[in-house]
Structure formats: structure tokens, C-alpha cells
A = this chain, B = another copy of it.
Amino acid sequence: MARRNDHSRDEIREMALKAAETIILEKGKDGLSARKIAQEIGYTVGTLYLIFKNLDDLILHVNGRTLERLYEKLSSEQQSSSDSKTALLQLAKTYINFAENESNRWKVVFEHRAQTDNTTPEWYQERVGKMFTAVETHLSRLAPHKSPSEIKDAARALWGGVHGICMLALTDNLDITGVESADTLTQSLINNYLAGFTAG
């Protein structure tokens, strides 16, 4: 039983998020419960509700951290290497690799329903937006003549596509065997898309 002032609010917060991340990774969203998190960190349910509005709020923060972690991976890719096309292909591999390694965590990002007030907080939307920045960078290098809004749209079309293949593969909805198929298919998607995009 934790004693008063054993941990600061922020420490408890961090412990709770870490515990939740572990549970989700191992058992998926259905394995998660407020009481399990509490038990894991040596506090009781009540304490969690002093720090998070509710369990949805807690999960939203877990998801925010998942996005952040993927962003780190994507943006730390060495830009130096060769051409932008290769870089984009590599970004997709990193993306898929991340989604596979942390598949339960990644799925929760999309399983989690919107808040009751139906608005995602601004800090979360920002992290979503950041997911496309690396893609935009390379696309604008490949097609310097395109306008910023064309680049923005293209990044969302292409990366939405990569995401779709990845998710279908994770959820076993591709009607195809093997997980490496996601890699092959995204490479094909990117190659063909770029052919049209850079020509147009």
C-alpha cells in the first residue's frame, strides 16, 4: 500500500501510463482495466481518477505516447541516405516494423473511440499531424514544382495507403498469407504512386 507522498502526481501518472502500456502490449485493449493498472503500480483505483478524467482519458495519453514514439523513429531516419524515393520506402518499412512490433499498442490507437464530447484534444491532433511531416519533406523534394497543399494532400493519400495495408495485414483482413506481405505491398504502392505523382 503506497503511503502518502511516496510519489508525486507526475510520478504516479508516469507509472500508470507505463503499466497500461505494458498490459496493452501483452494482452491488448481488452486485457486492460483500471484495477489492473492500480494493482500494478501499488495504488488503488481511486487514485487513478485523481489523475486521469477516466479510463478513456488514460488510454488517449497512452496513444499519444505511442504516436510520439513512432514519430521519433520516423524522424530519426538518416535523411542523408541517397534519394528521397529510397527514403520514403525506408519510412514505410520503419512504420510497418513499428506497427508489427507493438501491434497491440498500435491497434489501440485506432480502436479507441472518440471522447464523449466527440472532440480530440489539440495536443493529440498535433501528434497526428506530425506523422505526415517526414513524408511531406521527401515528397516535396521529389516534386519541387508542386504546391504545399498538393504536397500535403499527396502525403495523406500515400501514407493513408501505407497505413491501410499495414492495418489490414495486422487485423488479418488482407486475405493473403504471411505478414511480410505488408512490406511487399507498401513498396509496390509507393513505387507506383510516385511514378504517377512525379510525372503528373
Residues of B within 8 A of A186 (CB): 157
Nearest opposing residue in chain B for A131, CB measure? B175
Is residue A98 contacting chain B, with contact meaning CB distance below 8 A?
A: no
Q: Are A185 and B200 in contact (CB under 8 A)?
A: no
- The answer to whether A168 touches B160, judged by C-beta atoms less than 8 angstroms apart, is yes
Whether B153 pairs with A185 at a CB distance below 8 angstroms is: yes
Indicate the member of A160, A163, A199 with the most B CB atoms within 10 Å: A160
Interface membership of A129, Cβ < 8 A: yes
Binds B, one of A1-9, A15-23, A190-198: A190-198
- As for how many copies of this chain the complex holds, the number is 2
Q: Nearest-CB distance from A117 to chain B (Å)?
A: 13
Q: Is A24 an interface residue (CB 8 A)?
A: no
A80 interface hit (Cβ, 8 Å) = no
With a cutoff of 8 Å between Cβ atoms, the chain B residues found around residue A189 in the complex are 157-158, 160-161, 193
**In the assembly, what is the distance between CA of A80 and CA of B132, in Å?**
39
Complex interface: chain B residues within 8 A of A172 (CB): 114, 120
A160-B160 contact given A110-B171, A114-B172, CB 8 Å threshold: no
Given contact pairs A110-B167, A192-B197, a sample of 15 additional A-B residue pairs in the complex whose CB atoms are under 8 Å apart: A29-B113, A131-B175, A156-B165, A156-B168, A156-B176, A156-B181, A157-B188, A160-B189, A161-B161, A161-B164, A164-B166, A192-B193, A192-B195, A195-B199, A196-B196
